[in-house]
Structure 1
Amino acid sequence: MEYTTGTPSWRLVMRRALSALRPRRLGQRQGGWGLGVPLIALAAGLLFTTSATTADGTALRDDRRPQLAQLIADKRERVEQQDERASDLLAEVDRDSAKLADTDVPVKKARERADALRQQAGFTDLGGPGLTVTLNDSSRRPADMSGDDVQNDDLVVHQGDVQAVVNALWAGGAEAMSIMDVRVISTSAVRCVGNTLLLHGQVFSPPFKITAIGEPTDMRRALESSEGVQQFRDAVASFGLGYTETVERNVTVRAYDGSSDLRSAEVTE
């Protein structure tokens, strides 16, 4: 609601309120409403006038969604710039340590031990045969489905669905894996916010593509024996969700290029 002028209404309310508070003629009764109405009108007039003064001819409830969207875009751009800066600094440190390894024996041995573990840790590209699994939301709506128990949650891919596929592929002997072309390592965590996927600070929308390097037959067998995957397949038939398996003759899973710093860790027994 907009208020542009408030002075005339304020004067009218004051005039009516003072008129109501004047002493009435002798013998004329004045009920409780006779005193209450002017006070209510006086408070309402004060509220309207305050709102008009505050608004100053503008809408009091502006739509702030464009400002919030711009703020998110600015923050995302700043994060991307900082990630690029961090990658440049890491590359510079790697070049300096490699140069130092030519003359420093302990540094050379430490780099050799680290290089031997880079592939297992996911810091090198890996190619070979594999399997790609794609999960997608349903194109249907609850109103289009027969039955009253169909909810929106039944028609979207959830975190547990993605995690079930990932766990099954690891159990089937996957040597390397990526989700939406982002390398999955030991510290990766799959999180879903609504129907979007959050991985290493990046947000992805469905369909979700999971690619694993390994023996396709073994991984497909592991998917078939996974209870979580079978539940999603049942939902595919019931609610129209998307599920496909594609055998890859030769596919490359890119190296992980994010931060490897640990915030907390525990030693397992």
Structure 2
Amino acid sequence: MTSGSHARPEEHPPRRWADRLRRPRGRATLGWRIGTPVMVVLSGALFVTSAENSAGTDLRPGRYTDLASLVEAEADQYDALAERASDLDAEVDRLAGTVSDVGVTKWRRQADELRDPAGLAPRRGAGVRITLSDAPAEVVDAQPADADINEFLVHQQDIQAVVNALWRGGATAVTIAGQRVITTTGIKCEGNAVTLHGVPYPQPYVIEAVGDPGGLQASIGGDDYVAAYLDAVARGAVGWELDVEDDVVAPAYEGVLTMSYAEPLD
């Protein structure tokens, strides 16, 4: 370069950043043409699937802020399912009644005879009503910080002990919170509620039994576990009420029977 001369700029300066942005457009255009309709079809299928599965309900409901709302919602859902199951059972019975077959008639007659002992028929008569309850809130609040709060609550084993004593005393039907107790009934604690047939019920727990009141009370009085519970009652830890009733109504069990079939014991 001589003095006074000027550097000549390149006629075509490098544009590497632009080169990197260049891509073959043929495949990309083809991919978008194919991929876009496919995604639209898949999205539509997801909307249809969600609508079918929701059955008109919210697939992502808001959280419940209190136990009462949860119990009420679970109970409503259970009632709806139980009503549907009852309708289907009635339809099955109606269709089975139209079958003209000696064998079917025989088995239906035997099934009808077992409805009462299985708890599928209503019962009514004299009996007892027993109410188990947690200690009042003021009693629990008055306890020292190191106190075992479980001693002031009714547990599933307390309810089970009372129900078992009633069966031994000759009860022909037992209900808890108005729900008929059958062979497959499970009593489970969930938080501060007891679950029966999948539905939570808060305390107090009302247990009613149809049977001879004298025999039922004698069985209750002779049960060791119930005696331990009554000791806690005497200390004011939990609640207990026993009333003799002239008319106890035990409705038929109308929930879902989870068994597929049953076999008689030898």
Question: TM-score higher than 0.5 here?
Answer: yes
Relative to structure 1, is the Cα distance of residues 118 and 233 closer, same or farther in structure 2, using a 3 angstrom cutoff? Answer: same
- 1:168 aligns to 2:195 (yes or no): no
Q: Give the aligned partner of residue 31 of structure 1.
A: none
Relative to structure 1, is the Cα distance of residues 98 and 82 closer, same or farther in structure 2, using a 3 angstrom cutoff? Answer: same
Q: Give the aligned partner of residue 82 of structure 2.
A: 83
Give the distance between the partners of 1:86 and 1:193, measured in 2 at CA: 25
TM-score, normalisation: structure 1: 0.67
Q: Give the aligned partner of residue 245 of structure 1.
A: 242
Give the distance between the partners of 2:105 and 2:263, measured in 1 at CA: 29
Give the distance between the partners of 1:117 and 1:265, measured in 2 at CA: 12
* Aligned residue type for 2:220: L
Q: Give the aligned partner of residue 106 of structure 1.
A: 103
CA contact (8 A) 2:82 2:256 kept: no
TM-score, normalisation: structure 2: 0.68
Give, in angstroms, the shift of residue 134 of structure 1.
Answer: 0.6
Relative to structure 1, is the Cα distance of residues 225 and 77 closer, same or farther in structure 2, using a 3 angstrom cutoff? Answer: closer
Give, in angstroms, the shift of residue 263 of structure 1.
Answer: 6.7
Give the distance between the partners of 1:75 and 1:143, measured in 2 at CA: 30
Q: Give the aligned partner of residue 63 of structure 2.
A: 68
Give, in angstroms, the shift of residue 105 of structure 1.
Answer: 2.0
- 1:255 aligns to 2:252 (yes or no): yes
CA contact (8 A) 1:173 1:214 kept: yes
Deviations 1:186-205 (A, max 9, x none): 11111111221100011100
Deviations 1:151-179 (A, max 9, x none): 21111101111111011111111111111
Give the distance between the partners of 1:108 and 1:199, measured in 2 at CA: 34
- 1:93 aligns to 2:92 (yes or no): yes
CA contact (8 A) 1:137 1:206 kept: yes
* Higher Rg of the two aligned structures: 2
- Secondary structure of the structure 1 residue equivalent to 2:117: helix
Q: Among 175, 183, 188, which residue is 1:186 paired with?
A: 183
Deviations 1:113-160 (A, max 9, x none): 111111011100011111111101111444424x67632111110111
* Aligned residue type for 1:258: G
- Secondary structure of the structure 1 residue equivalent to 2:235: helix
- 1:156 aligns to 2:153 (yes or no): yes
Q: Select the structure that is richer in helix.
A: 1
Q: Which has the higher contact order (CA 8 A, sep 6+)?
A: 2
Give the distance between the partners of 1:91 and 1:123, measured in 2 at CA: 13
* Aligned residue type for 2:135: S
CA contact (8 A) 1:141 1:152 kept: no
Give the distance between the partners of 1:150 and 1:77, measured in 2 at CA: 37
Give the distance between the partners of 2:264 and 2:101, measured in 1 at CA: 31
Deviations 1:23-61 (A, max 9, x none): xxxxxxxxxxxxxxxxxxxxxxxxxxxxxxxxxxxxxxx
Give the distance between the partners of 2:206 and 2:116, measured in 1 at CA: 22
CA contact (8 A) 2:130 2:208 kept: yes
Identify which range, 233-242 or 212-221, moves more after superposition: 233-242
- Secondary structure of the structure 2 residue equivalent to 1:162: helix
Q: Give the aligned partner of residue 41 of structure 2.
A: none
Between the aligned residues of both structures, percent identity stands at 37
Give the distance between the partners of 1:161 and 1:170, measured in 2 at CA: 15
Q: Among 142, 145, 158, which residue is 1:144 paired with?
A: 142
Give the distance between the partners of 1:109 and 1:265, measured in 2 at CA: 17
CA contact (8 A) 2:128 2:244 kept: yes
